[in-house]
Chain A
Amino acid sequence: EVLKEKVEEEEEAERAERAERAERAEKMMRPMEVRKEDTTRTQEMLRDLERKLSEIEVSIPEKSSTFTKDAIDTSKLPLSYQSNTPKEEHLLQVADNFSRQYSHLCPDRVPLFLYPVNECNVPKFVSTTIRPTLMPYPELYNWDTCAQFVSDFLSAVPLPDPLKPPSYLYSSTMVLKYQEGNCFDFSTLLCSMLLGAGYDAYCVYGYGSQDLCHMDLTREVCPLTMKPKEVVKEEEKAPPKKYAVKPPRDLTSRFEREQEIKRQEGVKAEEEKRLKQGERLAEQESAKTDPLHGLRVHSWVLVLSGKREVPESFFIDPFTARSYSTQDDHFLGIESLWNHKNYWVNMQDCWNCCKDLVFDLGDPVRWEYLLLETDKPLLSLTEEEDDGTNDDDDAENLGKEDEDKSFDMPCSWVEQIEISPEAFETRCPNGKKVIQYKRARLEKWAPYLNNNGLVCRLTTYEDLECTKILEIKEWFQNREDMLELKHINKVTGLNIDYFKPGHPQALRAHSYTSMQPEMDRVMEFYEKVRVDGLIKREETPRTMTEYYQGRPDLLSYRHVNFGPRTKKLALNSAESNPRPVVKITERFFRNPAKPADEDVAERVFLILDERIQLRYHCREDHLTASKREFLWRTEGDSKGNKIIMTPDMCLSFEVEPMEHTKKLLYQYEAMMKLKNEEKLARHQAWESELEVLEILKLREEEEAAHALTISIYDTKRNEKSKEYREAMERMMHEEHLWQAEAQLDYLAPFLAQLPPGEKLTRWQAMRLKDECLSDFKQRLIDKANLIQARFEKETQELQKQQQWYQENQVTLTPEDEDLYLSYCSQAMFRIRVMEQRLNRHKELAPLKYLALEEKLYKDPRLVELLKVFV
């Protein structure tokens, strides 16, 4: 009994110890002596302890999670979850043996993470918990999206004890169901998915930095805020050609230039230094040293190079879905790693974090394996050293090899990992996730969760404490107005909306400070969609600039200057009182069909001065371009005659003087044409203004409505398609019924009369046929009779009514009369229909009869027997 008690005591002590460790995570204050005193405790003490233990458990933050063992209904789980197969038992024994040998050989190392219990309290070997699965979503085929999904889909729970691996490891199906897990759950799930996708992935049990274990990204720069590195294309310098001209002699002092460059570089370097220092100081302030540095347990995923064209091994932190190089500072050591086939213990020293680790799993000196594998992942060529280094290892290896030679890893006990499309789309638990980065905050939502289509918001702050907002970026999806991204700069107050192709006004981007018209704004368009080929329209309070491309008239640019609005028309609204146009500048692309001297490059309409300036395109081998300026005077000359055209009304500079352009007639006609063009240009400017107003109005409406589009393939959300589908299903059903009816066997009742299983004789067949036909005939007649009977009944009824009406005609109220009349008309209608049906029946009956006869002749059961008579 004493022994038993002792055992109990020990168990209890162990539990207490575990609890205490958990508690330490909270308080870090309780002394550690408990371990040594445990044998002397009495039963009461134990009870006391137990009580305390229960208290402690209450205080553990696990209560925040709904995912406790109690909540899981283990009875409904499949059998493989609840028990072990003999093979698994065997594996557990092997693992047990291995762990004992290990603790014997390396007494100073922490126990291995080999067979934690699952949700049904059954110990399961970690490798069997990995269930390689290829997801049916193409998005999950690559490691980055896969990791992103895992990190989004699950919400992280800290380990019960940050210094020890958990005592349990749940199946991935359970984790997915509750969308919650610790780092081991994360890495198991991710590893399963990566293995399924063909990567050479491993779960790692090791030690990580505090930031890593707490999923703390506040010291990381948000990847979305980082500008994509500009790919500096070094233009290949063409080798100097044989006849390239020598550059003119450079007469500036080279020494002075060099000195200048040196000076500038010095200034730049100093500035950079100062900046860096400031940054470092700020960071140092914010980063407190972690007392548990190097002890915090973490689990992550290692992807080895080789498969799926991975060029270099790397780590993935499953919490944040970020990839790190194997030399990263965040990873402080590795105890062991495993995949679905084997388990390896790291035998290398981790004094320098993971920087010196060699991931050559085939090297038994560096990586102690659990099962002897037939296919070693990597074969080390530098194994000469290990002969003399560790005899124990060799001995152990030998012993194990004998033992395990014929043993391989049993199949996973975990059910197939499944993610429903809804869950896949919703991604984050409740479809929402917030990540805090250094000077940035990222919020994510599932599509259709927000009714304005918002799926992502990135808020950037100026300071580390995240109080001053610098800018906000909001991403949208499925918007009916095709809005994709809204960029709000809080400092300048500038808003930029980006649109996908498909906006009714072909908007590409719209940047503005206010939605009021006639303010600073830039609108960009998808020019291919627009008829006028407009690319961009910039506005300031007094100007409007438009850029075009691909127009048949080759217009590329139009700049309009407005004057102040005239006051006298103040009664009218703004729309009918456009600002007076002062100046219009239009530029054109070169029209290759025209000679350069006749192809206008720029024309300026100075409307107030009544002047038009033309600048022509430059000839290919010329420096100067022709110019022409028209001034017109509307007043008459001294004698009161109207001036049509005088030579001083057109000033021109021609690169190559031509004869015909000197003619007044030519100039006059050109001027008349330009006057017309000016009118058109003014009209265009006016229309552009109207369009801006229209777009602004439309944008406001869209913002207010923020309707979302639903794909016609989205059967769940699309009401119309749902209805349609249901209708189709109904139709299918009806069709099916009808078909079943059509297959009715008309011979069955007659065949039933005959003894079954016997072959028909000819006489029988004849009789069968005749009977069938006569029966059918009778039915046709019956039907006709029936119709007739009904017809007669209806007629009688009508006659009766008519009689009644005749008799009581005088005393009837108008309502009754109405009733009677409607009855009459209905009855007449019925009678007529009946008549028609009868006639039709009479017509069709012989045909039907013949058809049946024909059918009977062709019936496979009778055809042989009746052939002779046909």
Chain B
Amino acid sequence: MGSQGGWGQSKEFLDLVKSIGEARSKAEEDRIILREIDTLKRRIAEPDVPRRKMKEYLIRLVYVEMLGHDASFGYIHAVKMTHDDSLLLKRTGYLAVTLFLNEDHDLIILIVNTIQKDLRSDNYLIVCAALTAVCKLINEETIPAVLPQVVELLGHSKEAVRKKAVLALHRFYQRAPNSVSHLISNFRKRLCDNDPGVMGATLCPLFDLIKEDINSYKDLVVSFVSILKQVAERRLPKTYDYHQMPAPFIQIKLLKILALLGSGDKQASGHMYTILGDIFRKSEPSSNIGNAVLYECICCVSSIFPNPKLLEAAVEATSRFLKSDSHNLKYMGIDALGRLIKINPDIAEEHQLAVIDCLEDPDDTLKRKTFELLYKMTKSSNVEVIVDRMIDYMRSINDNHYKTEIASRCVELAEQFAPSNQWFIQTMNKVFEHAGDLVNVRVAHNLMRLIAEGFGEDDEGADSQLRSSAVDSYLCILGEPKLPSVFLQVICWVLGEYGTTDGKYSASYIIGKLCDVAEAHSTDDTVKAYTISAIMKICAFEIAVGRKVELLPECQSLIDELSASHSTDLQQRAYELQALLGLDSQAVESVMPSDASCEDIEIDKNLSFLDSFVNQSMEKGARPYIPENERSGMFNIGNFRSQYQHEASSHSLRFEAYELPKPSPPPTIPQVVLPLPTTDLVPVPEQTYPRETHHAPNLPSATDASSVDFGVKLRLEGVQRKWGRPTYSSPSASSSSSTQKTANGATHLDGRTVSSQTRDNFYDSRKQQAEVSAEKQKLAASLFGASTAKSEKRQLPTHKTPKGVPTTAEKPAVKGAISSSEPPKEKTVPSSPPPDLLDLGEPTPASTPSIDPFKQLEGLLGPTSAPSAIDHSSAAGPKTPDLMALYTDTPPAAVSSGSLNPELADIYTVNKNSHGTTNVAAMNKGQNRQDSLQKDATARQVGVTPTENNPSLFRDLLG
């Protein structure tokens, strides 16, 4: 057939393409494009550029943008081109516009009119071109301009138009679901379209709709099942086949939809069992596309209500994937395994070695997928091995996106399954050390809370042991260079709270360490704030027990430095510390109580402690407080937002009178009320600091409010809302996770040491070869474990249950559920009548389109086209197997499988006999080769040398 349309391009275009093709570096390519931009700017502005010439310019502009340069100077010409009458030029215009502009570009408005006109065209190809443009160019605002026409086109006589109209509607749904909510039923109607292409395309919007609202589409289950059945039974035209599979892409889409509809729905799933079984049976494991369908089938089976027979088939297919040599299939197998173990965790055991192979494979993609699987199968018995592996891997990766993900997974698993507190803290230390800057701050706060609150059990001894071990490890870690800021904050906080608690370290030692931290991170204000607060706490604890604090010189210089800091926060902390040092032990004790981080802070919402002060002022003649929203002539500034808006708007002229100036805040005298100095001295009490920050605003409210309030009693209606509702972090919520953590004792630790011992034994006794596999088996054993510990879950109230019991308890439960699902399956088989494809209750007569629409079309084109049609179909015949032969991924084993047609097998044998592969190509692709030779010759004629020795895409695959 050759390249149709010929080489109609100008010499200039050919030269451009040639030079781009031959460019050896990005810099060279950039030079070519910059020169081209200059040329185009000149040419495109010339008067009376011929339309064909303009089309070529547009393609050149597309090149300019594709290679990363701005072509905005030519956008308007692309827009103009869409007005052209010629189909090719119009479609090129639309193409250029869709490539250049996003839907919110200013020029789009100039196209809406053209689109409207084209949607009314008699030429269905123009309508199609317009609909394609609609999908890319129409934004939410312009939807109404074309919506009626698009809806009308859903009933067009040409299937190509109907298909594109469905997708235009789909696009509107994606953009603005509300704009088409009343038209959703059209998708259901088009599912019954006579044309399989329209039906197949309709599955895309339906999939999106079903994902949003599964229950509204349960009635379609039977229809989807019957369509799938008919597709699988090859009732669609042959032209939809791909590598001998009947319409595999439609099958896959249907399986995706069924997986959604059958999820957790026994009845709906019942309808699907038969067809899924059929697909498993018919599957062609020798081809890639067959495996794609198979994989989708596994996904579907693991999503719907479980059926033992199907699960068995799915497991079998999965194990075939895992055993395959192809990395792609292994990848799919690992993914499938991750889905299946949700139904039955035992499945993983059989494949432990395959999984470990994938885990240790140098292929990063495979490794990541396997980590995902491990993450899914983590339980308390294997959490240590898995998290250790994850952390090891985390160290080696540079991709921050993935590092963040895997770090948060480590944290999640550690929080959920930690076998001991010690282990938890060590794990967190490692995570922070290697990915500290990527971890969510919340994780740091959780860790601090955990150390402070202990593990929820009333065992103070264990808690304090935990704390001192944390302090030990942190003092050790502090020696390392370059610690992430978040981690340092945790360290400082813990050292401040518990550094001196157990008496192992002296105050001056800890303070010295903290000063070092502040010095080493002089640019990080947050860390410095944490250090100074920690120093303050340690000093306070010392003073409280009656010891005298002798400040180290470096500490004194730190305080001096921070007192003069640019950061007011640091300044304040430094001054507070200095003030604290001057107080006596009793005052200090009430200001900074020891180990008070877990105490609930009582907040007097009514600020009743100010009552006496308010009364005093009233007696002196102050006016009572009027809540702001009750004041006349003022906006309702009940909350922050409107206040800000108010301030923002006050830049313009104000027409109403200014309100009376508020009295200036009187100095708050500390000795009036006792609790006040506490809050005044430490506006941000240290115990609240590391917790959720919303504590902070509550306290300053005391002083703040006093500046405005002069009533008999404080009226807080207006005030309270201003600071928002007081929220406390409920200790119960925060500790729920930590209580769970304690459930498992140190038994696992023991198990681990034993295993490492045995490992040592292995090293001693075995040979190198054996060692590797022994190592693997060891890993397998620790990952998949003695199956006994398997179902030991956190939620279980007792972890002391004899091993083995939970498993046996769970297995029958699963089995029971499965077997109970069998009867409906048997029942539904005969009850669901196999309706014809596309005959889904629509009045339209059911007719399987057996006529090839292509031939119909060709027939319309007049006498000249008739022979070409024949030519085409005859050419297509031998060509398909040709492709198959060259098809890279077809494993050689496929030949022996005998499922391929004899022609193909021939090719393979020829291949074997004549060692030269190109020979085969010559023999089998004779005509094609001539074609390409001719093409090469043409290319050379016009002065283009192909960059490759072997220009054909397929040819290289033989070598």
Q: Do A and B bind each other?
A: no
Footprint of A on B, CB under 8 Å?
Answer: none
Footprint of B on A, CB under 8 Å?
Answer: none
